[in-house]
Amino acid sequence: MTKIIGLTGGIGSGKSTVANYIASKGIPVYIADEEAKKIMEREDVKQKIQNLFSDSVLNPDNSLNRKKIAEFVFNNPEKLKELNAIVHPEVQLHFKNWVKEHENFPYIIKEVAILFETGGNKQCDKVILITAPEELRIERAMKRDNVTKKDILVRINNQLPESKKKELSDFIIENINLSNTFLKIDEILKILAKL
């Protein structure tokens, strides 16, 4: 049976870069956040999301205003929970079907930012954690998302502490130097091929 390998890491850790590197090796990689964004734009799902909020969360072109939604939910844990209750089951179902399409591979990678927070690690055979010093993560995320340090800290504080993630992971990569990170990934992929 195809093994499910979780790939996770806090904001600015570099997990997307690692996911792209693994995909370049011909290994199927499921990017949960990307798939969730697509699913959230489905009319049925979009309607459920709009019903959560008293103000409109739609742009003039009828797409979701993600910035507005983020502002609502990041300071309101209850709304975030309700939003996740709509989106996560849909993503789970999509992922299950995706795994079936790739069952001829010995393992696949599931890249999820909040793998532990959603209990998704329980469905993984192994978990790879990408980490980096907090200051470096903040710097990367500020550059990438063009947001303030305060915005990044809010997101970091909404995620499980790094120390807890490390306890729950099978492989931990400190992503400071990309070529070293890729070497470590190559070693891990060799181990995974023998599972």
The answer to whether residues 111 and 188 belong to one domain is yes
The answer to whether residues 113 and 96 belong to one domain is no
Domain count, the chain: 2
> At 180, which amino acid appears?
N
Answer yes or no: is pLDDT of 154 > 90: no
The answer to whether residues 125 and 193 belong to one domain is yes
Q: Annotated binding site for ATP, which residues?
A: 12-17
Q: Which of 101, 126, 141 is the last residue of a domain?
A: 101
> At 185, which amino acid appears?
I
Better-predicted residue by pLDDT, 22 or 150: 22
pLDDT confidence band for 102 (50 / 70 / 90): very high
The answer to whether residues 135 and 174 belong to one domain is yes
Q: Annotated binding site, which residues?
A: 12-17
Classify residue 5 as left (phi > 0), alpha (psi -120 to 50) or beta: beta
The tokens of 26 are what?
Answer: 């011909």
For residue 20, give the CATH number of its domain: 3.40.50.300
The tokens of 125 are what?
Answer: 């055979």
State which H helix or E strand residue 49 sits in: helix 43-52
pLDDT confidence band for 1 (50 / 70 / 90): confident
- Average pLDDT, stretch 147-157? 87
The answer to whether residues 77 and 170 belong to one domain is no
Helix (H, G, I), strand (E, B) or coil at 22: helix
Question: What residue numbers bound the domain in which 53 lies?
Answer: 34-101
Q: Which of 86, 101, 116 is the last residue of a domain?
A: 101
The answer to whether residues 75 and 95 belong to one domain is yes
